[in-house]
Amino acid sequence: MTITTPAHGGVDLAGATAHAAGLLAALGIPCDSESTAGTPRRMAKALAELTAGVHLDPTRHLKVTFPPEAAQPGLIAAIDVPFVALCEHHVLPFPGRATVAYLPAPGARIVGLSKLARLAQEYAARPQVQERLGRQVVEALVSSLDVQGAACLIRSQHACMTLRGARAHDAAMVTSHLAGALDADPARRAEVLALMPSPS
């Protein structure tokens, strides 16, 4: 899913472009050729798109619900949801995949599966750390829906670790956030952990 840059909400593209040009100049990177003259603006637009989630409320996707198909529903999950987030420490991307799951309370209303994907992707579209991303998704599910439990499992590759610093090529970071029955019930916990996203 592409998250477009909002037309409002505090995005100063001209100011960001000027700062991008200054940053590149300070790093000794010239932007004076036909090919690179537009680089500062493209850089600013790319960062605005990748952080567009700061202007959005992802929980709005959980406001439209449907009646359950069964009185005692089972686990509902969106698996291998792709996302791209920016590490807030280095402003480098960490693309990955998430599994977003919840166990509705008996008789509780449910949301469309696509909303689970949008929830994760919009929380990802902001300066992030992976641990917070998973927690935000779970907290949104618990606070917005009538659930017995919720979970967010994430596998990603952080450019700040694979392309610089440790240069741990192909290393992945895996996190799990579980709440309610999906954490406390051993059988439910095993069921949801088995849905850990696959390597990209």
**Is the pLDDT assigned to residue 200 strictly greater than 80?**
no
Q: What is the CATH number of the domain that holds 130?
A: 3.30.1130.10
Q: Assess whether 106 and 83 both reside in one domain.
A: yes
- CA-based nearest residue to 147, from 61, 57, 62: 62
127 in the same domain as 35: no
Domain match, 102 and 179 both: yes
Q: Can you give the pLDDT at residue 4?
A: 53
Name the DSSP letter for residue 90. T
Q: Determine the pLDDT at residue 141.
A: 98
User: Looking at the structure, do residues 139 and 83 belong to the same domain, yes or no?
Assistant: yes
Pairing type for strands 173-180 and 147-156 reads antiparallel
- The pLDDT of residue 186 is 97
Q: Between the CA atoms of 2, 138, 107 and 192, what dihedral angle is there, to the nearest 10 degrees? A: 90
What is the mean predicted confidence (pLDDT) over 165-184? 94
The answer to whether residue 200 is domain-embedded is no
Report pLDDT for 71.
77
> Are residues 48 and 142 both part of a single domain?
no
Looking at residue 50, what is its pLDDT? Answer: 96
What pLDDT is attached to residue 72?
80
Question: Regarding predicted confidence, which is higher, 200 or 172?
Answer: 172
Domain co-membership, 142 together with 92: yes
| pLDDT tens for each residue of 3-61 | 554 554 578 999 999 999 999 999 999 999 999 999 999 999 999 999 999 999 999 99
| Same-domain status, 32 and 111 | no
Do 124 and 41 share a structural domain? no
Number of folded domains that form the chain:
2
Domain extent at residue 45: 13-52
pLDDT tens string 112-158: 999 999 999 999 999 999 999 999 999 999 999 999 999 999 999 99
Same domain, 144 and 68: yes
Q: What pLDDT, on a 0 to 100 scale, did the predictor assign at position 95?
A: 97
Q: Which residue, among 57, 56, 76, 58, has the nearest Cα to 146 in the 3D structure?
A: 76
93 CA to centre of own chain: 11
Looking at residue 8, what is its pLDDT?
A: 44
**Are 47 and 134 members of one domain?**
no
* DSSP letters spanning 18-72: HHHHHHHHHTT----STTTTTHHHHHHHHHHHHTGGGG--GGGGGS--B--SSSS
CA distances (Å), 51 to each of 44, 91, 166, in order? 11, 10, 26
The two structure tokens encoding residue 34: 């036909």
Which residues lie below 8 Å from residue 30, measured CB to CB, with a gap of 6+?
Answer: 24, 36
